[in-house]
A and B are shown apart, each in its own frame.
Chain A
Amino acid sequence: EDQVTQSPEALRLQEGESSSLNCSYTVSGLRGLFWYRQDPGKGPEFLFTLYSAGEEKEKERLKATLTKKESFLHITAPKPEDSATYLCAVQVNQAGTALIFGKGTTLSVSS
């Protein structure tokens, strides 16, 4: 069964304290891995797509990387406005374009 696991469930950081969020996956055939940011009560906001192991993407303080078994979302010098839930999702080759999501990591950054 295709599965996505995110860790930790919750993460508290001080402003400027860099860290990483993990997304591990077991799928039959990975087409792509997606990262989203979700604020409370709102829809997920697209951040990155990664298609092959070794690929990296960056946007402001965020950097996403991909290996054959997991992805990391690195947050460098976070600010309070980075506080949100970060969702990881995969698309598998045999399932059309349906996304399989993890439960998310809730990040809180305090000043």
Chain B
Amino acid sequence: DAGVTQSPTHLIKTRGQHVTLRCSPISGHKSVSWYQQVLGQGPQFIFQYYEKEERGRGNFPDRFSARQFPNYSSELNVNALLLGDSALYLCASSKSYEQYFGPGTRLTVT
């Protein structure tokens, strides 16, 4: 079975730009969560979506938004990028409580 897939793998953006990250969950999983991981830290929760509805939001500014599509894939959008947004962005899918992570998208903001 295919695992969680994310695209792109790497991305370099300039301060002030906008970025869209994409995630496809494991087949049969209806919930997708997004996490940000900066170097040397554990992942930090950004959003959770279930059946296209937002079910949870972490302590991130309104520049961060997300949505889930009818096929359960998801997008994370970040506007007005800051240098501090440079991180590994992880998507996780779940059927119940256990979450399975994708390989991540490495975002570098210059």
Contacts and interface: CB of A to CB of B under 8 A. Distances in A.
B105 to A, nearest CB: 10
A101 B99 contact: no
A98 B106 contact: no
Contacts of B92: 99
Interface of B: 4, 31, 33, 35, 40-45, 48, 55-56, 58, 88, 90, 92, 94, 97-104, 106
Interface SS majority for chain B: strand
Interface string A70-104: 00000000000000000101010001111111111
17 contacts: A4-B42, A34-B99, A41-B88, A41-B106, A42-B104, A46-B101, A97-B55, A97-B94, A97-B99, A99-B33, A99-B35, A99-B99, A101-B43, A102-B42, A103-B40, A103-B41, A103-B42
Contacts of A96: 48, 55-56
Contact of A43 (B44, B45, B90): B90
A8 interface: no
Nearest to A102: B42
Nearest to B58: A98
B56 A44 contact: no
Contacts of A46: 98-101
Contacts of B100: 46
Nearest to A31: B97
B106 A44 contact: no
A84 to B, nearest CB: 14
A41 B44 CA distance: 16
Contacts of B99: 34, 46, 97, 99
A97 B43 contact: no
A51 to B, nearest CB: 9
A45 interface: yes
A49 interface: yes
